[in-house]
Structure 1
Amino acid sequence: MNIQFINLKAQYKAYKDEIDTAIAEVLDSSAYVMGASVGELESNLSAFCGARYARAVSSGTDALLIALLALGTQRGDEVITTPFTFIATAEMIALLGAKPVFVDIDEMTYNIDPEKIESAITSRTKAIIPVSLYGLPADMDKINAIAKAHNLAVIEDACQSFGATYKSKYSCNLSYIGVTSFFPSKPLGCYGDGGAMFCNDEALDEKIGSILNHGQIGRYIHKYIGLNGRLDSLQCAVLNVKLRHFKEEIAKREQIARIYTENLHNLILPVIPQDRTSVYAQYSVRLTSGNREAVLEALQHRGVPTAVHYPLPLHLQESLAYLGYTKGAFPVSEKIAREIFSLPFSAFLSEQEQSYIIESLNALLG
């Protein structure tokens, strides 16, 4: 079989008429930037997550940058985060001249370990950025409590977890600021780069709205140093359509994950604590036998694509070597990076495809 890692074409075909109509409406309006679909999307996102305010943003990476700017992050500040995630989280901290301070992860959830955060806090600490990895929210109550005790802000990097819940509240609405990504491969994705930001503070929302539009508070009146972080009208139109179907897709994702979990053998499978749900941005499993690359190559020969999220923790990346971390600094992250890999997954993975993937993997692992 020739299986797609994420079947975006099948999703487009399912919603084709609605998406084509929404795109045509933007083209007819010629309002390609800050058109009606932008405000509509922000209202829809706010209603979905339960956050008072939502802002459409050009990417999840830009959302992280804007959040840090909104907090007044500057050179010399420290921001605590995880070394086991995509580089954008630490990259935006470093870009502002602040220092990423890493804390190791919990071995079961792969999210930042709250028990290790407090020892990393110093007088220079500005904020904590937990990442809700692979679609599963971090333990936000514990993290928020630590932050409150030390007068720190929490930015939830929910770039992989839009639609997931923690204690019945939606990810993106679990901290002072929530940010997410709508990159095409995300659980809710647009047709290019895109993202959003969420908060419940009016003054903070106004500052975010200004920073993402060159720091403007009026036409050609610039209060802040900002950037062009706007999300264009075409992407918003696509997201408005997809959001209408998103809860159905979440249910389907949960069903597909359950089938994987019930039928795969000889692997460490995702652990979802009882107080949370996951949207399975990736369905990631671990192979502890040390022959991961051979298994992935054999799967590829059978037409089953895989991916490794993430093979090299951030503290070992050349771009962040100046931080002074060495191999062994975060043993759990390093262990997971050696063992983990992700299987094909989307709401449009067919039963036949999934059965073939399971049979192929079980046959290889015995």
Structure 2
Amino acid sequence: MAVITEAHEKKEKKKFIPVCTPWLPGNEKKYVNDALDTNWISSAGKYIDKFEESFSRYCGVSYGLACSNGFAALHLACMALGLKKGDEVIVPTFTMSAPVNAVILTGATPVLVDADKETFCIDARKIEGKITGKTKAIIAVHIYGHPCAMDTIMALARKYNLKVIEDAAESHGAEYKGKKCGSIGDIGCFSFYGNKILTMGEGGMAITHNKIYAEKMKKYRNYAFEHPRFLHQEFGVNYRLTNIQAAIGFAQTENVEKLVEARRHIGENYNQLLQETRGIVLPIEKEGCKNVYWMYGVVLTKEIKKAREEIVEALKENGVDTRNFFIPMHQQPVFYNGPLENAPDCTDSYFIADALGRRGFYLPSSSNLSLEDQTYVAACLKEILSKSFN
């Protein structure tokens, strides 16, 4: 971590600092041009194989299935586990909608659980109370780069004979007790959207130790074709990734340690710059966990009298881009007032998720963000907060 001195605290007007931009520091252009020059631009080609092998090896698993996006990975995982109408799946209410939507598409019903106030992940202590005879799986979403409490989740899975899907879209390289997020449960799912630590603009991957699950997902992502080619014994989808996208992804895996540590470096800098700042709660790194700070999120305390929207608007006026935290799933009209027969029950109380969704936002977190820009962001935030207590 760079040394941050008082001299760095000087605040000067800056140009616009986006909340996140891709970082392509390696062979991305070279490999894309190779795919173009050789005409391997569709869903077959050497870069798909290289990308799958490289990323799954990094995660410490045997199989990796590249697909079109992170949602596709989640849906393929749900399909491989055989989830269907009448089943229930435990999911966090504080998440992006992808895991909930993936469950709904299988016909199963998502069952929402509140967030942990420290990590923002699903509160593993509250899962058991939501398990019924219909429960078939738990989706553990590693929120904003911090791992879920996987020991508790895996113990519950063993006790009740449940499967575990890890949504590690936001947690490339994060670790729980020395194991990579995504490698602990039955299937791990990743997104490589433009704001992710590893990116190819859009893309996804499902990883697993289980050969049967891998074969099922490989089949389902390609329309479930059999022999002869246009015969279908099972329902399949088109979740294929192109060789062009995989070329970018493979190049990113060649620098995966650099990309992950750069994001951790951003988080550590913010931790130092914002330590003991009144009015906000900073992200933590629990013992045994490696937080990769996908997005550096802060939560306003109750002593801040201004609304979050006023704070982020003031930051915007100073050229600092932000994003609000997720709106919890139980607050989504499509679920509490929509046409879906298997929508989650939104009538329970989710106090932590409510507070996070109302008072949280994240700061510019690009992997190549300069210390100068971080220092400016921190100085702006401190100044705005100092005027927000009454």
Identity of aligned residues (%): 34
Q: Which runs of 5+ in 1 are unaligned?
A: none
- Greater mean deviation of Cα atoms: 214-223 or 100-109: 214-223
Alignment of 1:213 onto 2:225: no
Q: Distance in 2 between matches of 1:217 and 1:38?
A: 21
Aligned to 1:188: 198
Deviations 1:55-82 (A, max 9, x none): 1011110111111111111112111110
Q: Distance in 1 between matches of 2:217 and 2:233?
A: 12
- Greater mean deviation of Cα atoms: 289-298 or 201-210: 289-298
Secondary structure of 2:165's counterpart equals: strand
Alignment of 1:309 onto 2:322: no
CA shift, 1:4, in A, is 2.0
Aligned to 1:23: 32
Alignment of 1:271 onto 2:281: no
CA shift, 1:108, in A, is 0.3
CA shift, 1:163, in A, is 1.1
Secondary structure of 1:174's counterpart equals: coil
Q: Distance in 2 between matches of 1:199 and 1:137?
A: 18
Alignment of 1:108 onto 2:118: yes
- What amino acid is the match of 2:281? I
Secondary structure of 2:34's counterpart equals: helix
Alignment of 1:204 onto 2:213: yes
- What amino acid is the match of 2:207? F
Q: Distance in 2 between matches of 1:320 and 1:166?
A: 32
Verify the 8 A CA contact 1:290 1:339 in the aligned structure 2: no
The aligned length equals 358
Q: Distance in 1 between matches of 2:375 and 2:295?
A: 18
- What amino acid is the match of 1:19? E
Q: Distance in 1 between matches of 2:125 and 2:19?
A: 35
Q: Distance in 1 between matches of 2:174 and 2:233?
A: 35
Match of 1:253 among 260, 263, 281: 263
Aligned to 1:73: 83
CA RMSD for the aligned pairs? 1.3
Q: Distance in 1 between matches of 2:285 and 2:51?
A: 30
CA shift, 1:290, in A, is 4.5
CA shift, 1:324, in A, is 4.1
CA shift, 1:259, in A, is 1.4
Q: Distance in 2 between matches of 1:250 and 1:83?
A: 27
User: What is the TM-score of this pair, normalised by structure 2?
Assistant: 0.89
- What amino acid is the match of 2:311? V
Q: Distance in 2 between matches of 1:290 and 1:319?
A: 31
User: What is the TM-score of this pair, normalised by structure 1?
Assistant: 0.95
- What amino acid is the match of 1:6? C
Aligned to 2:169: 159
Q: Distance in 1 between matches of 2:325 and 2:294?
A: 11
Secondary structure of 1:231's counterpart equals: coil
Q: Which runs of 5+ in 2 are unaligned?
A: 1-13, 338-343
CA shift, 1:213, in A, is 1.0
Alignment of 1:343 onto 2:363: yes
- Greater mean deviation of Cα atoms: 342-351 or 27-36: 27-36
Q: 1:222 to 1:29 in 2, by over 3 A?
A: farther
Match of 2:350 among 319, 323, 330: 330
Q: Distance in 1 between matches of 2:67 and 2:59?
A: 16
Alignment of 1:137 onto 2:157: no
Structure with greater helix percent: 1
Aligned to 1:5: 19
Deviations 1:260-311 (A, max 9, x none): 111211210001112111221110001122421111111000000110121x
Q: Distance in 1 between matches of 2:121 and 2:305?
A: 23
CA shift, 1:38, in A, is 0.4
Aligned to 2:249: 239
Verify the 8 A CA contact 1:210 1:224 in the aligned structure 2: no
Q: Distance in 2 between matches of 1:3 and 1:69?
A: 40
Alignment of 1:359 onto 2:383: no
Q: Distance in 2 between matches of 1:171 and 1:324?
A: 28
Q: Distance in 2 between matches of 1:187 and 1:132?
A: 14
Q: Distance in 2 between matches of 1:54 and 1:352?
A: 38
Aligned to 2:7: none
Aligned to 1:296: 312
Secondary structure of 2:141's counterpart equals: coil
CA shift, 1:114, in A, is 1.1
Deviations 1:203-243 (A, max 9, x none): 11111111111112443343421101111101100011111
Q: Distance in 2 between matches of 1:306 and 1:195?
A: 25
Aligned to 1:287: 300
- Greater mean deviation of Cα atoms: 126-135 or 328-337: 328-337
Aligned to 2:160: 150
Verify the 8 A CA contact 1:73 1:98 in the aligned structure 2: yes
- What amino acid is the match of 1:287? L
Deviations 1:85-139 (A, max 9, x none): 1011111111222111001111000111111111111111111001000011111
CA shift, 1:347, in A, is 1.5
